[in-house]
Amino acid sequence: MLLEAERISVSLAGRRVVNGVGLRADAGQVIALLGPNGAGKTTLLAALAGLRPFQGAVRIQGRALASLNRRDKARALAYLPQGQIAHWPLTARRLVELGRLPHLAPWQPPAAADRLAVESAMQRTGVADLAERPFDTLSGGERARVLLARVLAVEAPLLLADEPVASLDPFHQLQVMELLRDYADAGAAVIVVMHDLILAARFCDGLLLLRDGALVAQGAPERVLSAEHLADSYRIAALRGEYQGQHYVVPWQRRTSESGPP
CB contact at 8 A, 21 and 210? yes
Q: Which is nearer to other proteins, 153 or 207 (CB)?
A: 153
* Interface positions, 78-107, toward other proteins (CB under 8 A): 78-81, 85-91, 93-95, 97-102, 104, 106-107
CB contact at 8 A, 18 and 44? yes
CB contact at 8 A, 60 and 79? no
CB atoms closer than 10 angstroms to residue 115: 12
For the CB of residue 69, give the shortest distance to other proteins in the complex, in Å: 9
Q: Which is nearer to other proteins, 90 or 174 (CB)?
A: 90
**Count of all residues that appear for the chain in the document:** 262
CA distance 14 to 89: 36
CA distance 83 to 162: 8
Q: Which is nearer to other proteins, 25 or 96 (CB)?
A: 96
Q: Which ranges constitute the DSSP H helices of the chain?
A: 41-48, 70-76, 92-97, 112-124, 140-152, 170-185, 197-203, 221-224, 227-233
For the CB of residue 87, give the shortest distance to other proteins in the complex, in Å: 4
For the CB of residue 159, give the shortest distance to other proteins in the complex, in Å: 11
Count of residues in contact with other proteins, rule CB under 8 A: 44
Site map (CB under 8 A) of other proteins, residues 142-181, x = contact: -----x--x---x---------------------------
Bridge partner residues of 90 (DSSP): none
Q: Which is nearer to other proteins, 115 or 235 (CB)?
A: 115
Contact residues toward other proteins (CB under 8 A) are 46, 49-51, 70-71, 73-75, 77-81, 85-91, 93-95, 97-102, 104, 106-110, 114-115, 118, 134, 136, 147, 150, 154
